[in-house]
Structure formats: structure tokens, C-alpha cells
Structure 1
């Protein structure tokens, strides 16, 4: 079979190589999956660089999120068991972690539902306890993780403010349903959020960026607001002033979604049930901005690493729906 492999760490476009390899053999509790579509995630780029918290042994195949087909014909979504990632014709995954692919979504959309929407659901509902009528601020609102949070926030009845970088991404955020869109390249984010909220600030802030975005968040979080730290796409991990959180009465919440798969897998299943229902009624629909063949995976991962994409890029195999 064909699979992309990384033999040394570096930029994805330089270190990913398409090779002919033997299909992986499932271990105990694992199943073999024919990959129908694999969604490109920022962690794929970080793993290529050797900067992710999970460091699979070299050589490895990137691709942490797939829609695949089991040997008995079931269409499922889940996370491949590294080092056998999803940018290949076949992968393996833990059977216990697989979920039925929602019928309302095609293969590329289904592949993009798992990580981003589970992360958004846990951040907004489990950690921040977002309430209808509250104001939600989403950084990188046109990206794969951010776009999911926007849709979930709207589905929950929140007023959503999206922060993006550039006019093109601003147009995407508006189309996603953001009530207010702020272009950080052309506007003062802090001033714009205060103006949009009448000086009150945002009740919940969803931050997958870190760095300057977190600094802005601390300035615009409302009384008894909640900042959910999801990731550090900027490459800079902030060091928050806890005295500031004390005097302004806000909470800083961390979210490591993968931990729920071992600590509370039943809640992951409940989240998937709710996401499937939301997809069925059209309340959420993953933004798949591009569909590329397997041969285009390395270029796609590099573009995600460079921060020039919107939504998700899906690597689709021949015959995928």
C-alpha cells in the first residue's frame, strides 16, 4: 500500500515521503481500517517537527483523524493508532475508540468531525458551561478548531465573536455564522470586543492560539468569565498573571480532550451522540475547504503548518463518498 512516512523531524513538506509499504497489522484490541478520508490537523505538523507531546517512533505515518471502513463494511471515524497514521491507504485503530460516522456527513466531513468538534463540545459545555445568551469569543474562528467552536456556540444559543487574520478569513467567519467578526490584522481586537459588548467583555473565550491572543483574552474577559486554553498554534505558551485572574474574577480552564478517552470514555460517547444529532439537523457541518488526493498530503500538512488554510483540508482516497 501507499503511505506517507517521516524518517526525520523537520518541516512537513520536506520530511514527508510517499512510500510503498506493507499494510499495518492490528494489535490486541485493534482493527484494520481502509482509509476513506483523513483530516489534516495542526498536530500532524507538530509531530513532523518533533514538537508535539506525542512523539511516535521514526519512521511514522502522520494523520491523527480519519473516516475509514472496517473489514466488515462499517463506516467509522476515530484516531489511528500511531505510528500508523491516516495518510495512507490503510491504518489501524483501537476498536474501543471508533464511532459510527454520521450519515448526514460525507467521508471528508465525517473525518473532520471527531477531534475539532469533540474539543469544542468539551471546551464549551464541559469546561466553560456555556449558557444560552452568553457571549463567546473564538480566536482563529476560520480555522479547523475555531470553525467548530463557532458552530457549536451558535447551536448553544450564544452570541459569537470571531477573531481572524485577514479579509479572506473574515468572510469565512461571517459565513460560519459569527455575529461579529474582528480582523486582528486591521483592527484593535481589545477595543473591538469592548465596543461589541458594550464594555462588558466576553463570557467565554476559546483560545487555540496562545501568545498575543491570550493577552487579548485576559483584557476582554467579562466578570466571572472563562478562558478555555485549547492549544498554542502561535508557538508561544503564555504565562498568565494569576493576580489578574483574582482581581477580575475570571477562570482559566485547560482542556486536554484526549485525556477523556482514558479518564471518562463514556462522556466521549455521549458527546458523539450529541454531535451526530446536531449534524443530522444541520446545526453543525464541518467546514472542509479542500479535498486533495493522497499524493497531496505533504503539501496540505505544510499549508496547515504555515497557517494559510481555512477550515479543514481532507485527504481523500479513490472511491470515498
Structure 2
């Protein structure tokens, strides 16, 4: 969300970090507390500034504070085309981690490499759980980011190392999962939930965005009148990164 449409206002180049909007957030105007605003650099376009805010906040919180990712560790992103993971890849690399990623097709695999992924696995070509096991010499990775849920969580538990962490930030394939709890206690796995972040998290990650250390990943910009088509594309997983709707 941005405050466009108020060109003469002193806050015209502020960005709303988040807001509680009954009925959804696709309105052209919104009123939020002043403390939820952050100044936007004049050099950025509104779409470029608005697109990464929530997803970068979520990715920062889950990796740096919840999973406590450290330099030299290995991390696996289950999925690469969504907004959160496209930012999480960059944050993990910035933190000094080696990044593995599971991509949905050849095109997304190539775009993942461009973001800095060290090893990309195309799930249409390989059994990614077995391949991670092989590539890490049967050790597994230190951290798995799984926001898919039902379809992938059991494989993620097999791919994580003993004493590793699986951070869960979504459930795009469904929220109800049947798991073998022997994986959890035998491998001493930590299942960690995370969502969004604090005001300080927001200031920390936007500083990296404004300094160009993290780059927004925008699939396309569409008019609000084509919102139904945009949501349909997301449901089908056709996008890589964010789709931005403009009034």
C-alpha cells in the first residue's frame, strides 16, 4: 500500500507498513496510525517500494530471529516463486548461508539462480528430498523454510539435519498434515512458526531495501481492474515474486 493520491500532503511519499483493514486490503485509500508509516526514498517508484515490504519483513523475521540463521549454515527453500521465499533467498545469502532451493519448473529454477541460489532442484525432474540427502552427504540442511505445508512437510523433515530447524510461515497446499513424530524426537528437529514481524524488524529490513542490498522481485504490475486475473495467476503459481496492483 502507498499513500499515492495525496501529492500535496507532507506524507505523500510514506508507505504504510501494515494495517488492519476489514474486508481486505485492495482499497485505493486507507487510514493507519502514523507510527505505522515509514518514509520512502524519493528515488523509488511506489510499486518498487510497496512490493517487498510485507514479504521481506516475514522473511527477515523467520530467518534471522526465529530460525536464528548463522553464517556458514545451509538452508533449503521449499519453493522459490512466492514473494516470501524470493526475499528469503536474498536474506539467507546476505547472512552468509549456502542456499538450496526447490523450484516448480525450469523457468523458476533459472530465475532462482539469478537471485543467488547455490543449488536449485527442479521438483519436476528430481525427488528433491532424496537429492538433498545425497548432496549433503546424508547430513541434511541446517534450516528448511517450508510455507507449503501438507504436500511437503514430511519431506522437509527428512531433508533437515539432526538438530535442525524447520520454519513454517504458510500452508499453500493445506493446513492439516499427518506427520511421523519419530522424525521430530529421533532427529531432535525444531518446528518453528513465524509470521510478519515487529516494528524494529521492519525498520531493519527496509534499511537493507533502501540501501539496495535486497532487491524487490516483481513479476508484473497490473491495474486494480485486473485484480481477479492477478489472483488467479497466483492460485496457479504462475508468477515469480510479487504481482503489484495499481489504482
Please confirm whether the aligned pair reaches a TM-score higher than 0.5, indicating the same fold: yes
8 Å Cα contact 2:76-2:145 kept in structure 1 = yes
Runs (5+) with no aligned partner, structure 2: none
Partner residue in 1 for 2:97: 158
Per-residue CA deviation, residues 139-185 of structure 1 (Å, 9 max, x unaligned), is 11122111011011011110011111111111111111100101111
Is 1:224 aligned to residue 163 of structure 2? yes
CA–CA separation in structure 1 for the residues paired with 2:70 and 2:20: 36
Q: Which moved more, 1:126-135 or 1:88-97?
A: 88-97
CA–CA separation in structure 2 for the residues paired with 1:208 and 1:103: 34
Partner residue in 2 for 1:54: none
CA–CA separation in structure 2 for the residues paired with 1:275 and 1:67: 18
Secondary structure of residue in 2 paired with 1:91: coil
Partner residue in 1 for 2:3: 68
Residue among 246, 253, 263 paired with 2:192: 253
CA–CA separation in structure 2 for the residues paired with 1:271 and 1:97: 13
Instruction: Quote how far apart the aligned CAs of 1:84 are.
Output: 6.0
Is 1:302 aligned to residue 232 of structure 2? yes
CA–CA separation in structure 2 for the residues paired with 1:103 and 1:284: 17
Instruction: Quote how far apart the aligned CAs of 1:186 are.
Output: 1.2
Aligned residues: 243
Partner residue in 2 for 1:25: none
8 Å Cα contact 2:158-2:183 kept in structure 1 = no
Task: Find runs of 4+ consecutive structure 1 residues off by over 4 angstroms.
Answer: 102-105
The change in CA–CA distance for 1:199 and 1:151 in structure 2 (over 3 A counts) is same
The change in CA–CA distance for 1:102 and 1:203 in structure 2 (over 3 A counts) is farther
Partner residue in 2 for 1:167: 106
CA–CA separation in structure 2 for the residues paired with 1:213 and 1:99: 36
Higher strand share: 1
Partner residue in 2 for 1:185: 124
Is 1:290 aligned to residue 217 of structure 2? no
Secondary structure of residue in 2 paired with 1:226: strand
Quote the RMSD (CA, aligned, Å).
Answer: 1.9
Instruction: Quote how far apart the aligned CAs of 1:102 are.
Output: 4.9
